[in-house]
Chain A
Amino acid sequence: MFSLLKLMNKIWFIAFQIGIVLSVLNVVQAEPVDTHTPTLQVHGFVAQGIIDVDGSDFVNDDQSLSAELTEAGINFSYDFSPSIRAAGQAVYLNGGNRYAEGARVDYFLIDWTAYSSEDWKANLYLGRYKNTHWLYSGTRDVAFTRPSIILPQAIYFDGFRDIAVGADGAFLALSRNTDDFGEFDFNISSGSSNISKDQTEIILGEQATGEMETEKDVQASFYWRPFLSSWRFGIVGLDSEFSYKRGDNDIFTSADITLQRFMVNAIFEGEYWEFSGEGFQERFVLDGLYFDGFHRDTKGQGAFVQSRYKVSQQATLLARAEVFYADKDDRDGKELEEITGGMVPHYFGYQHDLTLGAQYDFTDNLRLQMEYHWVKGTARLTPVVNPNVKVNNQERWDMWALQLMYWF
């Protein structure tokens, strides 16, 4: 409740700033003179499934069949004028150990179409915005927009979901259409966010009593679709800083964390076949946390390639291969095992996943999705910093999931 009030405060402050900005910058493009009627659009989704993990604590510690696979959300969009729109979405998520269970304000923003013509479009979003820079990040919780129930954890690690999903700040989107070279999109965002107690425990473990905060999150992405092409290519850059303030009787000390990511992706959308892939390298700098003066600077790497085949208008098959290395200079995790004195097994240094799946559309907005994952390694399990080596005592594990989803 307190965080919601803080968000409302921020929104009002931002709305006030928008007022000033608009009055100054209205010269950029005069408000079109037309008979605009304010319209309200409401959409939503609900998805419930079952998931069974054998050999890891990905969903629950006792590895039993679980119904902790719930995603529901409702959103609105209201345009006050052709240039100003307000939009928001609330979601409820339950994924067991994957992320904090509960409801949250997913996005809540003012969208200002600063400029729009046949060839150009510029939008400024202020408030709580979604991270829409990656291939699936903008709708990662919206089951029917995903290629699979569980997204590739190398990139869309659920343990970092609340940190990566968006921020409070500003997002600028520029799109350009040309007849010769195709469509270009450039997006840049900057913001910060509070990290909940539950999310802090997901990252650090239950012994962490301090407070974690996103100090800075700057991201930029550039996408290009050649003229009338089925291909689309993208590059993404991310620079974020987090702080941890030690709590009472805390096993950790205060810390500064820097995370820098560079990503590339490509997608081909044909009539029957679809191919896509996304890869990244991530620099992770940790100062403190274990003891004052501790310093670690590592680079992780991950990627997936995916293919989908439309058997019919209703049925689609999926095959995906994914790799992740927590430290590219320690691909087999041996060094990790050594520096922890054998406490953390080497297979916590990587996680590779082979996925096969299928989906069937009963109607335009009712779908059943199912999949099987064969996984090697445990680097993308929670808690992240203080791993659960008791439950995760084997290198190979697998899971299957089934989810029914409805949207409107």
Chain B
Amino acid sequence: MSPFKLVGFFELIHGCTCCRNNKDINIKHILNGLFIGLLIWSSPANSVDVVVNQSVQLQSLSTKQLRRIYSMRQVRWADGSSIQVYVLPSQHKIHQRFSKDVLRIFPYQLDRMWNKLTFSGLGVGPVEVPDEKTLLKLIAETPGSIGYVEKYSEVDDVQLIKIDE
């Protein structure tokens, strides 16, 4: 691969144009590029789709926001309405993917947070449902609810949420 092609590659994954403008490769950008490249390589994009009830007035959520919601640190939407969180069982492959790839937290960490809330009286954890079908049905019926599925389909009466990095 020629240096120019390398610059193009780093520009693509790093999102900057300074390498091309300077006609040289900054070592910091190479490392950043490799790191981001690794992230892209290790976490398949759109591995899980986040869905909400039609009443939720949002098109996108950031990883940070999702993490706050799923760690039960944010319990209301921006308009003040309650958030109802649904999850699949801890060992479910879609839950594992959602936890690691989207929230970037290990499933056992989520379990610990929820168990602490539930068994110390400090709060409530999310509602666990056995499968995707039940989850979609509950999200369609429950105002303010949020959940995740492997692949969103327009036939489901729910709203897809874009995840911003």
Q: How many residues of A contact B (CB 8 A)?
A: 49
B153 at the interface (CB under 8 A from A): no
Q: Which of B108-165 contact A (CB under 8 A)?
A: 108-109, 112, 115-116, 118-124, 127, 143-144
Residue contact A41 to B124, C-beta cutoff 8 Å: yes
B4 at the interface (CB under 8 A from A): no
* B165–chain A nearest beta-carbon distance, Å: 12
Residue contact A107 to B76, C-beta cutoff 8 Å: no
Interface of A, secondary structure class, is: strand
Interface of B, secondary structure class, is: loop
Residue contact A138 to B82, C-beta cutoff 8 Å: no
Per the bound structure, the CA–CA distance linking A228 and B74 in Å amounts to 16
Per the bound structure, the CA–CA distance linking A404 and B157 in Å amounts to 43
Q: Give the residue of A87, A109, A111, A145 whose beta carbon is less than 8 angstroms from that of B116.
A: A145
Closest chain A residue, CB of each to CB of B62: A179
- A175-B73 CB under 8 A given contacts A118-B68, A139-B116, A228-B104: yes
Residue contact A364 to B123, C-beta cutoff 8 Å: no
Q: Which of A64-103 contact B (CB under 8 A)?
A: 73, 75, 77, 79, 82, 85, 87-89
Q: Quick check: which of A11-19, A32-40, A237-245, A333-341 contacts chain B, the rest being far away?
A: A32-40
- A88-B75 CB under 8 A given contacts A32-B80, A32-B82, A118-B68: no
Residue contact B112 to A145, C-beta cutoff 8 Å: yes
* B89–chain A nearest beta-carbon distance, Å: 6
Residue contact B116 to A138, C-beta cutoff 8 Å: yes
Residue contact A45 to B124, C-beta cutoff 8 Å: no
Residue contact A43 to B75, C-beta cutoff 8 Å: no
Per the bound structure, the CA–CA distance linking A313 and B76 in Å amounts to 33
Q: Which residues of B contact A192 (CB under 8 A)?
A: none
* B98–chain A nearest beta-carbon distance, Å: 16
Q: Which of A276-292 contact B (CB under 8 A)?
A: none
Q: Which residues of A contact B115 (CB under 8 A)?
A: 139, 142, 144-145
Residue contact A34 to B121, C-beta cutoff 8 Å: no
A/B interface sample: 18 pairs, CB < 8 A: A30-B80, A32-B76, A32-B81, A35-B143, A43-B118, A75-B119, A113-B75, A116-B75, A123-B122, A132-B116, A132-B120, A139-B119, A145-B115, A173-B122, A175-B73, A177-B68, A177-B73, A364-B90
Which of A's residues lie within 8 Å of B, judged by CB?
A: 30, 32-36, 41, 43, 45, 73, 75, 77, 79, 82, 85, 87-89, 106-107, 109, 111, 113, 116-118, 121, 123, 125, 129-130, 132, 138-139, 142, 144-145, 173, 175, 177, 179, 183, 228, 269-271, 310, 313, 364
